[in-house]
Amino acid sequence: MSAPAVALVSNVRNRMGEGALWHPERHVLFWFDILGKELHWCNADGSGIGSHALEMTASAAVWIDSDTLLLAADDGFHRYSIRDRSFSLLAPLEADRPGNRSNDGRCDPWGRFWVGTMDRQAAPGRGALHMLGADLQPRCLKESLTIPNSIAFAPDRRHAYLSDSAEQTIFTLELDPESGEILDEHVFATTKGEQAVPDGSVVDSEGYLWNAQWDGWRVVRYRPDGKIDRIVELPVQRPTCPAFGGPDLRTLFVTSSREGLTASDLEKQPAAGGVFAFQADISGLPETPFRLTIAHTLPGGD
C-alpha cells in the first residue's frame, strides 16, 4: 500500500496541540493548544480558521448539539456556546488536586464523557481516568495513572482503549456491551524499547486503532489483536491526537506539539505544532454526542 500524502492543514504552531474533534453537524474541526490556553477551529481544507483565548487550561471536548461543546479543563467540565463563545461550569473535576489538569478525552457509545487527568509536571501516578454522565456527577474509573491518553471506543461496544504514555503501553478495557462498565483490562500494544510514545488514538469503522506517537514521527494503525497494520510517517516529531473528519470521515487529522523541541529541532520541522491530515482508505466513526438531561439542555438549566 502506498503511503498517503500528508498535508499541513493549519500552521498554527501550537505549543501543545491536542483534543482534535470533528463536529459532525457543523463539519468543523476543533482542537486545543493546552499550554497556550486556546481553542482553535477550521474547515476540513484549513479555511475558516478561528481561535478563542481561554481563561483555563482545556484539553478535550465533545459535542452536545450543533451550537454547543462540552470542554474538559483543569477546573472542571464547561458547556461552551460556539455561537457566542460563552462558558458555564457544569461539574468540577479533581478540586482536591490543584496540581492536576485534564488531558485526553472522548465520549463513549453511551454518551458519557471519559477524561484523563495528570499532574502538570507529569509526576508519576497522580493522574486518573474519570467519566461524566448525564447526572453531571464525575466518577473515577481508574487511579494511579501518569499521562492518560488514547481514550477510544470500538464499534462493538465491548472494548475501549487507554494508554499511560509514561508506560509506553496501550491497554484494552473490556466493557459490558449494555452498561459500558469496565469488566477487565489487558495490554493491547506497547512501544517499550522504542523512542515512540503512544499518545492520542481514534478507532475506525473496521475497529482498528489509529495511534499518534509522540517522538515517533508517525501514526500507527493497529489491528484489533494489537498487531501493527500500517505506519504513516509524519513531518513532525511529536504528533499528539488523531480525529477522523471531512465529508466522508475518511480524512485523518492529527494535531502536534512543539513543546520541548530545540531550535535545531524546529529548523528541521518548522511546522511542528500544526495540524496535519491525510486521506485514509477506511472511514472513521462519527463522534457520539454527550447525553445531557432535558433539565440541563434548556435555557437556565445550569
Q: Which of 96, 144, 91 is nearest to 116 (CA)?
A: 144
Per-residue pLDDT at 3: 87
Domains assigned to the chain: 7-297 (2.120.10.30)
218 and 230 Cβ atoms separated by less than 8 Å: no
208 and 229 Cβ atoms separated by less than 8 Å: yes
CA distance 252 to 22: 10
CA distance 73 to 56: 6
Q: Cβ-count burial of 276 within 10 angstroms (0-12 exposed, 13-18 middle, 19+ buried)?
A: buried
From residue 87, give the alpha-carbon distance in Å to each of 72, 210, 264.
Answer: 12, 32, 39
pTM of the predicted structure, to 2 decimals: 0.96
Mean pLDDT of each 10-residue bin along the chain, 302 residues long:
90 98 98 98 97 96 98 97 96 94 98 98 97 96 98 97 98 96 97 97 98 98 98 98 98 98 98 98 97 60 44
Per-residue pLDDT at 173: 98
Per-residue pLDDT at 302: 43
